[in-house]
Structure 1
Amino acid sequence: MFTGLIQAQGTLFHKGDTQAYIRWEPATLPPALTDVELGDSIAVDGICLTVETILADGFVAAVSPETLDRTSLGRLPEGSRVNLESSLRVGSKIGGHFVTGHIDGQGHLEAAVATEDSWKLSFTVGDRRVARYIVPKGSIAVNGISLTVADCSPSGNWFAVAVIPVTYRETTLQYLRPGQAVNLEGDVLGKYVEKFMGGSEDAPAGNSVSLEFLAEHGY
């Protein structure tokens, strides 16, 4: 589990088709990333990866075919900058929202416009697995960054976010160019609500919570 608050950036290198090597600058790492152990989970551009090998300047993680198919990881060129966040620890502050590191699908940057006190980024989403969870003022993780949806289309196939300068400066959002793919994860709370309301495609018959049920039980 993660929070979507990026702790550092790393550089991505591919090791064959099934491993990713993430290099970082040890001298600039925050405490949360200095005591990494084998088997730890680290979100790389929002993708939960497991540390298989620890190196002096980074780590190596296995990458499954599903990860390569669902995310942008396999298509990022060598030397790309990526966002890093260690897994949430018991008692830690939760400043973003609950992020699982399980990517729903991809979107693409439409435009990045500097305003007087922030950046406005807009994205297109062609994947219904993601679009269905995008709602006004809801939470969305973009390349692992916890952001709030400022505006969106009714179907969720387009949305915009306002990004404060420190977030833009300290994450890989600054490197995005129009048309570039990003990893998207919808709010996990919305997924469970959808499931219990019987709205998901794989919801079991007879196991939904209707508005009538909620009203009858005082909600």
Structure 2
Amino acid sequence: MFTGLVQSVGQLQHLSQYQLKITCPTIQDPVLAGIELGDSIAVDGVCLTVEQILTRGFIAAASPETLAKSTLGKVSENGKVNLETSLRVGSKIGGHFVTGHVDGTGQLESAEQTGDAWEICFRGISPKVARYIVHKGSIAVNGISLTVADCSNTGDWFQSAVIPLTYAETNLHCLQPGDLVNLEGDVLGKYVEKFTRYGLNTDANAAAETTMEILGRERTNVKDEVDIDPSLTFLAEHGYL
């Protein structure tokens, strides 16, 4: 689990088809502080596992699925990638919950500086992530937690306002129109979608009816006529019990 607050920008090299080497700017880089084998590190928003620790970086493997669903297989040699270590208990959560499981990709359309911010637009959004893009919602772009300032009804286009610090300290400033970026929708939206979908499922309704029958029997068997908590009845009617 990550928060979308990039800690460093490293360079990526392809040691083999599935093995990646990530080099940090310095040996004092915050990403390397306390790093251990097996740690999870987000590389351009993709959760990778540290398999070997180097003086100024680490080596990780990327599965065929990861390379197919993300931009990691397309990053040029020594290309810039955003880095973030996993969230630790007690750490500040300044962005939003990011899992490091990329939903799809999109393309940079434009990046224009307006006043004290950069207005960045993306198009060609993968349908698997477009449905989670909503006005004022959260979106992870190359592992960066951003707020959707504007978007189309279908989510295939959206715009974010980025402060100068974020623009300069991430690889956003390296992007050119047409470049691909990794996108991950807000995990909360995914759970809401599932609960909504399966809340109308026959099995779920059947389970609710069964629960109501049990509650009914309990009501009948209560000799002192104590009523069942109305809140429990409401939850059962709506498939939550």
TM-score (norm 1): 0.91
**Structure 2: which 5+ residue stretches go unaligned?**
206-233
Matches within 5 A, 1:41-60: 41-60=40-59
Equivalent AA in structure 2 for residue 23 of structure 1: T
Q: Which has the higher helix share?
A: 2
Offset from partner CA, 1:84-140 (integer Å, 9 cap, x none): 000000010000000000000000000000101100000013411010000000000
Matched, 1:77 2:45: no
Matched, 1:100 2:103: no
**Structure 1: which 5+ residue stretches go unaligned?**
209-215
Q: Which residue of 2 aligns with 1:7?
A: 7
Change (3 A) 1:205 1:123: farther
Task: Answer whether contact 1:99 1:141 (CA < 8 A) is retained.
Answer: yes
Moved more, 120-129 or 159-168: 120-129
Q: Say which SS state the counterpart of residue 192 (structure 1) adopts.
A: helix
Task: Answer whether contact 2:116 2:163 (CA < 8 A) is retained.
Answer: yes
Q: Say which SS state the counterpart of residue 99 (structure 2) adopts.
A: coil
Distance in 2 separating the partners of 1:181 and 1:139 = 19
Task: Answer whether contact 1:125 1:131 (CA < 8 A) is retained.
Answer: no
Equivalent AA in structure 1 for residue 9 of structure 2: Q
Q: Say which SS state the counterpart of residue 197 (structure 2) adopts.
A: coil
Task: Answer whether contact 2:27 2:56 (CA < 8 A) is retained.
Answer: no
Distance in 2 separating the partners of 1:47 and 1:111 = 23
Change (3 A) 1:12 1:90: same
Report deviation, 1:8: 0.5
Distance in 2 separating the partners of 1:157 and 1:164 = 23
Report deviation, 1:27: 4.1
Q: Which has the higher contact order (CA 8 A, sep 6+)?
A: 1
Q: Which residue of 2 aligns with 1:29?
A: 29
Q: Which residue of 1 aligns with 2:204?
A: 207
User: Aligned-residue CA RMSD in angstroms?
Assistant: 2.0
TM-score (norm 2): 0.83
Q: Which residue of 1 aligns with 2:227?
A: none
Percent of counterpart pairs with the same letter? 60
Distance in 1 separating the partners of 2:145 and 2:98 = 8
Matched, 1:127 2:122: no
Task: Answer whether contact 2:13 2:20 (CA < 8 A) is retained.
Answer: yes
Task: Answer whether contact 2:125 2:155 (CA < 8 A) is retained.
Answer: no
Distance in 1 separating the partners of 2:81 and 2:33 = 17
- Give the 4+ runs in structure 1 shifted more than 2 A: 25-28, 203-208
Q: Rg larger in 1 or in 2?
A: 2
Offset from partner CA, 1:26-78 (integer Å, 9 cap, x none): 34512x53111000000000000000000111100011000000000001110
Task: Answer whether contact 1:196 1:207 (CA < 8 A) is retained.
Answer: no
Matches within 5 A, 1:138-177: 138-177=137-176
Task: Answer whether contact 2:49 2:61 (CA < 8 A) is retained.
Answer: yes
